Structure 1
Amino acid sequence: MRAAATCAALVLGAIAVVAGVIPRLAGATPYTVLTSSMRPQLPPGSLVVVRPTDPRDLGVGDVVTYQVRSGDPTVVTHRIVGMKVGVGGEPIFITQGDANPAPDAEPVQAVQIRGRLWYAVPYVGRLNLLLGLDRTLVLRLIALALAAAACREFVLAARERRRAVPAGEAAGELHHV
């Protein structure tokens, strides 16, 4: 039972680090893939972490997350399959989901780009969807569970040490050889 609890705590800790800690430290943003448009690389439920990037550094083949409309919080993660140059010299991107037969209907303006894919973890994003909770709350609950597991381990270890010490030594007696 103790090994299972330790294993579960380690898995939860790894998920918390991958889903929340690393992105925050790196200035990245985690998102959950909701559709199958990027199969097989990014199946639904994948956690994708994107880092902000200068749109001029993007190219064909890069996977990006972008706002559907500038200012709208709805985002899509697709691959850049073509590029154009806008009137002001800014890049305009043609995107397409890997599983989609044709490019997206609307080109993506540079201002809509939230970032380039940094890493993805299949199915980890499902935790947010299954729980129906805010990501911050989920991470706090994971941190609380890890802290509780650590406290439990410390208490169990202290009890084992007390049991292992002979009665005379526990009272402060020293034995010289």
Structure 2
Amino acid sequence: MTTPTIERTHRTVLRRSGQVFAWVVILVATSAVAVGVLIPRIAGATPYTILTGSMEPNLPPGTLVVVKPKPAEDIGIGSVITYQLRSGDPTVVTHRVTSVGHGSDGELSFITKGDANAAEDLEPVRPVQVKGVLWYSVPKLGWLGNTIDQDQRDAAVYLVVGGLGLYAAWMFGGALRERRGLRRARRDS
């Protein structure tokens, strides 16, 4: 092989490797956005991040949990629920229901416990506090959402869109250069 042929082969391998890498990055980023934002939004669910070890080993810290609203009557023992500590308070906890009962006023209530905790939670959970029942979870994806604030998320979206635009322009330019090269080769031969 001649040196120009080797260089051309080397460039082709690098270009293909770059394309594969870019598609893998695009696929991973798109999947993370779909699992963490798009699917919950379409389904009327809400994503949360597990911050403590109370639900280990199944839901370790950093796990993204997605919960869907469910009628209180359909929540049973063994269900994993996300609930407000106090009605109206944005602080939430995700624990497993260990028993279902009724208060002195006849209102339904749930006793919960973290899987890794030795004792049940002290306060019963009222239906008004329940944000939803666990639909699905993704380990470690919650850390990503917690490490960046809304402004950084917006900037990341613009960065990804801009990067994809630059990649598309680079691919388009490469295709044009390749066509010109083929035309020259046909003309020269």
Task: Report TM bin, short chain.
Answer: 0.7 to 0.9
Measure how far apart 1:166 and its partner are: 4.4
| Whole-angstrom CA distance in 1 between matches of 2:137 and 2:124 | 24
Change (3 A) 1:40 1:113: same
Q: TM-score, normalised by structure 2?
A: 0.80
Measure how far apart 1:70 and its partner are: 0.8
* Greater CA drift, 81-90 or 26-35: 81-90
| Whole-angstrom CA distance in 1 between matches of 2:51 and 2:37 | 19
Change (3 A) 1:168 1:105: closer
| Whole-angstrom CA distance in 1 between matches of 2:101 and 2:141 | 35
Q: Aligned AA for 1:6?
A: W
Secondary structure of 1:64's match? strand
Unaligned runs of 5+ in 1: 171-177
Measure how far apart 1:4 and its partner are: 3.1
| Whole-angstrom CA distance in 1 between matches of 2:111 and 2:153 | 35
Cα shift readout 1:109-153 (whole Å, capped 9, x = no counterpart): 11100000111111111113333x13xx45434432332232123
Change (3 A) 1:145 1:84: same
* Pairwise CA RMSD: 2.3
Tell me the equivalent position of 1:108: 125
Measure how far apart 1:160 and its partner are: 2.0
Which of these residues, 137, 144, 168, is aligned with residue 154 of structure 1? Answer: 168
State, as a whole percentage, how many aligned pairs show the same letter.
Answer: 43
Q: Which one scores higher on RCO, CA 8 angstroms, separation ≥ 6?
A: 1
Q: TM-score, normalised by structure 1?
A: 0.84
The structure with more radius of gyration: 2
Tell me the equivalent position of 1:49: 66
Unaligned runs of 5+ in 2: 1-16, 185-189
